[in-house]
């Protein structure tokens, strides 16, 4: 029997809307507009625009997608201008949820101003503007700075930032400013006073040279990040004093050259990262860092990039003795360089962390001199945490020389409530099974102040 004779012809079935399809197959172009728009919305903007050539019906569907991103790439600047113009001109009444634009302004400041105004009229919630190749002061549209829908604003503006007198970001939760040059005290103060519900604030390579003082009062602020590590300016005779009042502040990050005076007031920071770059260890450096640490006395987890941190903190020796107490600190991490166990900064911090539980040396630890007396902690009293709370010590980038083994010996002997020591070998020992086996034995044979301590070497 011919098998093909048993195959039935596909039956025509009607859809809910009365359309017919054959064998339950339907062309993509026959889908409802709302479904097609959802498909287009999942594409990158560049690909979404390309769908306009598929058919007459698809020609303008991309103009209603909620998220738009425009970057110059290798395209001509004139082409980017035309595409953005077309996207905003042809767009119907639908809102824009997220908008991203990177654009070399040159002489088109008024055009950019019009674009931003058009975006704001579409109730944008998440806006990222990166503008370069513009030398003159740039002013943002008043409508943007009084937007009731904007929740996230990322602004890259490497020129003087002109701020109007009226600012009210009533819904703004996240603000990120990159390479912004603040023009004067008053307008800068107006900017931060107009963000009553701000939760996340970040500055990256911003220039405060024209500012003497600014107060940032943000009762709902949870996260503050400051990165000045690549700022191509030197500190003048004056520094800008930036006072941050954030009772809810939980996370703080700083990386830079201590160009400004940052003061955290009435904060309850739980996690902090501090990295100091290119410091000469002046008295001013020491003062600024010491003041910053005082505002972080509530931290529970602190990461310190150590090398320049120590140089900066020892610029005024009398301040070292006034190191703030970190009574809530349970996790302390040193990164960025090998730590000398006899570092006065390290020992002073440990003295002031009575509840420390976890201590990590991400780039290793060593003791280059044999000054330890009876394996004690050198010439200072034993930090209280070594006898009451320190449960875990982690050492990475370990290569097994005598200076490193000497440091481990002192740590193990004095941490009398230690439960675990984790030692991770440097990548150069990978595959050297015999060397690692020998080091494992040397470490396990070290005397321990805590008989319940387990050592894990990897």
pLDDT in tens, 74-133: 778 888 898 888 888 877 788 999 999 999 988 888 999 999 999 999 999 999 999 987
Q: How confident is the model at residue 375 (pLDDT cuts 50, 70, 90)?
A: low
**111: three-class secondary structure by DSSP:** helix
Q: How far apart are CA 49 and CA 83, in angstroms?
A: 9
Predicted local confidence at residue 46, as pLDDT: 65
Phi-psi region of 40 (alpha: psi -120 to 50; beta: other; left: phi over 0): alpha
Buried b / exposed e over 25-55, threshold 16 CB at 10 Å, is eeeeeeeeeeebbeebbeeebeebbebbeee
Mean pLDDT of 179-206: 93
Give every CB contact of residue 309 below 8 A, 6+ residues apart in sequence. Answer: 274, 275, 276, 289, 345
pLDDT score for 4? 34
Q: What is the largest CA-CA distance in the chain?
A: 103
Query: pTM of this prediction?
Result: 0.85
12: pLDDT strictly greater than 90 = no
Distance CA 365, CA 337 (A): 9
Instruction: Tell me: pLDDT of 53 over 90.
Output: no
Q: Is the pLDDT of residue 3 over 50?
A: no
Query: What pLDDT shows up at residue 198?
Result: 96
User: For the chain, what is the mean pLDDT?
Assistant: 85
- Give the pLDDT mean for 280-292: 87
Per-residue pLDDT at 24 = 41
- In the chain, the percentage of residues whose pLDDT exceeds 90 is 54
Pick the range with the lowest mean pLDDT from 25-34, 268-277, 281-290, 338-347. Answer: 25-34
> Is the pLDDT assigned to residue 11 strictly greater than 70?
no
């Amino acid at each position: 029997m011919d098998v093909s004779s048993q195959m039935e012809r596909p039956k025509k079935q009607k859809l809910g809307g009365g359309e017919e399809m054959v064998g339950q197959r339907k062309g993509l172009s026959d889908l409802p507009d709302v479904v097609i728009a959802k498909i287009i919305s999942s594409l990158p903007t560049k690909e979404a625009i390309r769908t306009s050539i598929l058919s007459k019906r698809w020609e303008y569907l991309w103009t209603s997608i909620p998220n738009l991103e425009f970057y110059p790439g290798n395209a001509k600047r004139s082409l980017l201008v035309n595409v953005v113009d077309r996207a905003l001109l042809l767009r119907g009444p639908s809102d824009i949820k997220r908008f991203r634009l990177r654009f070399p302004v040159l002489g088109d400041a008024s055009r950019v101003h019009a674009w931003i105004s058009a975006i704001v009229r579409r109730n944008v919630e998440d806006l990222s503007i990166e503008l370069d190749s513009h030398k003159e002061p740039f002013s943002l549209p008043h409508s943007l700075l009084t937007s009731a829908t904007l929740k996230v604003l990322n602004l890259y503006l490497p020129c003087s930032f002109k701020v109007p007198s009226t600012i009210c970001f009533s819904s703004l939760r996240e603000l990120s400013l990159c390479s912004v040059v603040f023009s004067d005290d008053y307008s800068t103060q107006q900017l931060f006073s107009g963000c009553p519900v701000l939760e996340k604030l970040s500055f990256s390579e911003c220039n405060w040279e024209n500012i003497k003082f600014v107060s940032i009062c943000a009762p709902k602020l949870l996260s503050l990040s400051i990165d000045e590590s690549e700022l191509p300016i030197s500190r003048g005779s004056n520094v800008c004093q930036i006072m941050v009042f954030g009772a809810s502040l939980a996370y703080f990050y700083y990386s830079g050259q201590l160009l400004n005076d940052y003061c955290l007031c009435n904060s309850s920071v739980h996690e902090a990262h501090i990295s100091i770059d290119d410091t000469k260890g002046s008295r001013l450096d020491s003062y600024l860092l010491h003041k910053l640490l005082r505002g972080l006395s509530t931290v529970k987890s602190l990461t310190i990039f150590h090398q320049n941190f120590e140089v900066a903190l020892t610029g005024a020796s009398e301040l070292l003795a006034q190191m703030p107490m970190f009574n809530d600190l349970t996790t302390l991490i040193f990164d960025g360089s090998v730590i000398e166990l006899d570092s006065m900064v390290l020992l002073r911090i440990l003295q002031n962390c009575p509840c420390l539980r976890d201590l990590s040396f991400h780039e290793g630890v060593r003791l280059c001199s044999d000054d330890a007396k009876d394996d004690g902690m050198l010439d200072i009293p034993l930090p209280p945490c070594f006898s009451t709370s320190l449960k875990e010590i982690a050492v990475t980038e370990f290569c097994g020389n005598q200076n490193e083994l000497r440091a481990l010996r002192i740590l193990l002997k004095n941490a009398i409530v230690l439960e675990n020591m984790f030692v991770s070998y440097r990548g150069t020992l990978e595959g050297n099974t015999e060397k690692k086996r020998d080091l494992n034995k040397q470490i396990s044979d070290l005397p321990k102040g805590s008989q319940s301590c387990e050592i894990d070497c990897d």
